Amino acid sequence: MIDIYSAIAAISFLAGLVQGLTGFGSALVAMPLFLLFLDARTAVPLSILNGLIITIYLCLQLKRHLDWRKIFPMLLGCLPGIIAGVYFLKRADNTWIKILLGILLVSYASFSLKFKPRAIKMPSFGPYAAGFATGVIGSAFSAGGPPVIIYTMLAGWSKDSIKATLSGLFLLAGILIAGAHWFSGLTNGLVLQYLAVSAIPVISGVWLGSRIYSRTTTESYIRIILFLLIGMGVLMIASAMGFHV
């Protein structure tokens, strides 16, 4: 039997490695694996706190590329999106929505890998719309990253700008979510105990991922993101159809 502390440390390292490389994806890696050892009420706040460690690290590392004028419109769009997502979750049959979103992600990423679409001039409402969609999908399906990821890619930014913008947005959103977990009692002594075990591995992972990232070209970085989007889409479809990692 695998020791739970060793498992948490290994999963946290892998989650940090992925997000250190791409700027997102730690929860995509961590949550299915945490749920093999932890209940959801422990796994979710632990994943959020690990995500905060990662995004703080990345924001400090990429502070020269942080442009809060790019981040705040997305955050402003995200807040009403969270409310709409909760409302939607209570009333909609989210099985088919998850399947359609998964198909959309796989199709978009596969198309982009094959044809390499050019950057487009984004409308002024673009970041607000991307943030709103992120809030809706994040609160309804726990997979809110794709809209802002796709937006930053279509905008044609450099890889440092993309990664810094994603890190800044996810840091602010993570602080809000972690605060909600704390005040609701979800972040308890057991979660903090597991956080103490996972902190050093997650920092080690994000450090290694960042070292690999520094050696990648923008083209290679975009390809890595697209493959991860395909993975997110496949996992979304699988979870909607009742399959579990």
Number of H helices and E strands in the chain, helices first, is 10, 0
Which of 83, 113, 109 has the alpha carbon at shortest distance from 101? 109
Separation CA 125–CA 17 (nearest Å): 33
Measured in degrees and rounded to the nearest 5, phi and psi for residue 193 equal: -65, -45
One-letter identity of residue 11: I
| Identity of the highest mean pLDDT range in 82-86, 179-183, 207-211 | 207-211
In this structure, are residues 44 and 10 in contact, taking their beta carbons and an 8 Å threshold? Answer: no
Residue 133 lies in a domain: yes
Nearest to 209 by CA among 149, 154, 167: 167
Can you spell out the DSSP letters for 83-148?
HHHHHHHHHS-HHHHHHHHHHHHHHHHHHHHHH-PPP-PPPTTHHHHHHHHHHHHHHHHS--HHHH
Question: Would you say residue 64 lies in a domain?
Answer: yes
Whether residue 245 lies inside any domain: the answer is no
Q: Which residue would you say has higher pLDDT here, 85 or 113? A: 113
Is a pLDDT exceeding 60 seen at residue 214? yes
Residue % of the chain over a pLDDT of 70 = 91
C-alpha triplet 105, 106, 107: angle, nearest 5°: 90
In a domain, 25, yes or no: yes
Which domain, by its residues, includes 76? Answer: 4-240
Which has more pLDDT, 104 or 203?
A: 203
Residue 40 within a domain: yes
Q: How many domains does the chain have?
A: 1
Distances (CA, A) of 63 to 19, 57, 191, 238: 16, 10, 29, 37
56 lies in some domain: yes
CA distance linking residue 52 with residue 220, whole number of Å: 26
Domain presence at residue 66: yes
Q: Output the six-digit token pair for 104.
A: 């959309």
What is the rounded distance in angstroms from the CA atom of residue 68 to the CA atom of residue 121? 19
**pLDDT at 22 (0 to 100):** 86
As a whole number, the mean pLDDT across the chain is 84
pTM of the model: 0.77
In whole angstroms, give the CA distance from residue 13 to residue 11: 5
Cα diameter, the chain: 54
**Residue 150 forms part of a structural domain:** yes
Instruction: Indicate the DSSP class of residue 65.
Output: G
Q: pLDDT of 88-126, one tens digit each? A: 656 666 677 778 778 878 888 888 888 776 777 778 888
